[in-house]
């Protein structure tokens, strides 16, 4: 049984009951003797660890798992809708990077943000393998380039080559069409058997991408890089993911060597209202 360490600061609690109403597994109630919220005896195992009780309290009176509500990031005004739409609309797949490391502070911010991404059933069973150094990224790049060159010479019908058919001439000309000269890469993995092991890593990388864009960092969902990691198991092994975790997708990122002054004008997607 998990220890919830659910605690109410009686000097701050106003007995509004909002934490009780917002508890999804409905394991909170008013203590009949003290008149403050408590965990219903015997229901501790139903907690989903969402910490909504801590987040929703208007008076910072609720603590759970030993977390101090005063240390939470306070809710600010957030970006204006127009600013948020601009961020989404101007997101670009960056395929041109400066061959240099991002500063450590920016990489730390990107890593710290990942603790906040949503997961199915609030499982938070995600793991991320980061390539922090351009020199390490270069070793991945050089290894794959050599392997692909050997395939082109000795095994032209290899299934991996069909994935990069349109890029063969560029590859032959020495262009890094697989990793796009990106200095960094993050690989998102989920624990096998979790409720949303396929979806959770993709959701996480979507959040990662938008936050990266807000920091001025270029990103790329790269199918060729993902294909290389999948096709060469030795590269996947090098990532050092914990046993029992499955890598779902990778994202390249780094300082962009290109700037887009405006958004594109995409064709509308199919939308209809259900009656």
The structure tokens 């009656």 sit at: 275
Sole residue written with tokens 């009951």: 17
**What average pLDDT does the structure give for the chain?**
94
For the entire predicted model, the pTM comes to: 0.92
pLDDT digits (tens, 9 = 90+) for 131-163: 999 999 999 999 999 988 888 888 888 888 877
Taking each helix axis from N to C terminus, what angle separates 104-113 and 199-214, rounded to the nearest 10 degrees? Answer: 140
Can you give the pLDDT at residue 151? 85
CATH architecture of 83-254: 3-Layer(aba) Sandwich (3.40)
The fraction of the chain above a pLDDT of 90, given in percent, is 85
Which of 179, 171, 161 shows the shortest CA–CA distance to 231?
161
Q: Which residues make up the CATH 3.30.70.20 domain(s) of the chain? A: 7-71
Measured between alpha carbons, how far is residue 84 from residues 73, 212, 214, 264 in Å?
20, 14, 10, 16
**Span 47-60, average pLDDT:** 96
Of 1.10.580.10, 3.30.413.10, 3.30.70.20, 3.40.50.2300, which CATH number belongs to 7-71? 3.30.70.20
Strand partners, 8: 62
Q: Give 45's DSSP letter.
A: G
**CATH code 3.40.109.10 region(s) in the chain:** 83-254
Return d(Cα 35, Cα 16) in angstroms, integer: 10
pLDDT for 179-200, tens place per residue?
A: 999 999 999 999 999 999 999 9
pLDDT band at 261 (very low <50, low <70, confident <90, very high): very high
E-only strand ranges, the chain: 7-8, 28-30, 37-39, 62-63, 126-131, 184-191, 218-221, 245-254
Q: What is the pLDDT of residues 84-115, one digit of tens each?
A: 999 999 999 999 999 999 999 999 999 999 99
Q: Per-residue pLDDT tens for 7-23?
A: 999 999 999 999 999 99
Position 235 pLDDT exceeds 60: yes
Q: What is the pLDDT of residue 1?
A: 40
Inform me whether the pLDDT recorded for 218 exceeds 60: yes
pLDDT band for position 2 (cuts 50, 70, 90): low
Percentage of the residues of the chain whose pLDDT score is greater than 70: 99
Over residues 29-41, the mean pLDDT reads 97
Bigger pLDDT: 164 vs 256: 256
The confidence score (pLDDT) of residue 242 equals 92
Q: What is the CA radius of gyration of the chain?
A: 24
pLDDT exceeds 50 at position 244: yes
């Amino acid at each position: 049984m998990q220890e919830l360490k659910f605690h109410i600061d009686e000097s701050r609690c106003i007995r509004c009951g909002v934490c009780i109403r917002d508890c999804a597994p409905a394991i909170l109630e008013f203590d009949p003797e003290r008149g403050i919220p408590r965990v219903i005896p015997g229901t501790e195992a139903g907690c989903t660890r969402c910490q909504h009780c801590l987040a929703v309290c208007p008076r910072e009176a609720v603590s759970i798992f030993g977390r101090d509500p005063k240390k939470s990031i306070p809710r600010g005004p957030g970006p204006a809708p127009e600013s948020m739409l601009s961020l989404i609309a101007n997101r670009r797949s960056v395929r041109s990077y400066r061959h240099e490391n991002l500063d450590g502070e920016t990489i730390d911010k990107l890593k710290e943000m990942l603790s906040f991404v949503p997961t199915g059933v609030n499982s938070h069973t995600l793991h991320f393998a980061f390539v922090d150094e351009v020199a390490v990224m270069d070793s991945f790049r050089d290894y794959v380039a050599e392997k692909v060159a050997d395939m082109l010479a000795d095994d032209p019908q290899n299934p991996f080559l069909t994935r990069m058919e349109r890029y063969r001439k560029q590859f032959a000309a020495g262009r890094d069409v697989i990793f796009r000269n990106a200095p960094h890469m993050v690989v998102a993995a989920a624990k096998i058997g979790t409720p949303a092991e396929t979806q959770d890593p993709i959701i996480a990388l979507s959040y990662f991408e938008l936050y990266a864009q807000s920091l001025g960092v270029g990103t790329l969902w790269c199918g060729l890089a993902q294909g290389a990691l999948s096709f060469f198991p030795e590269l996947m092994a090098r990532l050092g993911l914990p046993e029992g975790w499955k890598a779902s997708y990778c994202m390249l990122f780094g300082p962009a060597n290109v700037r887009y002054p405006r958004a594109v004008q995409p064709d509308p997607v199919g939308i209809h209202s259900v009656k």
